[in-house]
Amino acid sequence: MLVLLAGIFVVHIATVIMLFVSTIANVWMVGSSNFGTASSGLWLLCNRTCEQLPVSSRDEASLKAVQAFMILSIIFSVIALVMFIVQLFTLEKGKRFYITGAIMLVCWMCILIGVSIYTARFTGKMPASTSSHHGYCFILAWICFCFSFIIGILYLVLRKK
């Protein structure tokens, strides 16, 4: 049981780190332009230098929603990690990690909403780019989506023995 708890804890920490990286780094979309390789994220558009991400007025609300949901997912993931540690030492044997699992599933839902909005509204939209593809931050966000779901379910069914 101790190995299972340690494994879940390590995967949870890895998920938090990957969520930070995918939200902060500006490599959600990568494309080729006249100036070389360009990348855009949730915050900036980077060629040789980084500048404010140019967004049309109709896409601005969608971008802000993606930013908000990714930040919320980080917050809920960190809260779930803290709650796991607190519940690990305060719950008596046979109790379940319901609160931790529920918070982690809320994190999962925030990632789902944020990445889905980004996929629907911004896939293939790179300013001044001939061809574009998804960057590593987008892929990390989907990996975090899978990990947070698995961790949330494991917390809900896990009994402290």
pLDDT score, position 52:
84
Q: Is 70 exceeded by the pLDDT of residue 127?
A: no
Kindly state the helix (H) or strand (E) to which residue 152 belongs, with its residue range: helix 136-157
Cα–Cα distance measured from residue 117 to residue 62, given in angstroms and rounded to the nearest whole number: 7
Q: Which of 68, 89, 75, 77 has the alpha carbon at shortest distance from 152?
A: 77
At residue 54 the predicted structure's pLDDT band, cuts being 50, 70 and 90, is: confident
Looking at this protein, which amino acid is placed at residue 89? F
| pLDDT tens profile 61-104 | 999 999 999 999 999 999 999 999 998 888 776 677 888 999 99
Domain boundaries of the chain, sorted by first residue: 1-28+57-125+136-160
Q: Which residue has the higher pLDDT, 13 or 92?
A: 13
Which positions ≥6 away from 146 have C-beta within 8 Å?
none
pLDDT score, position 129:
62
For the chain, percent of residues with pLDDT exceeding 70? 93
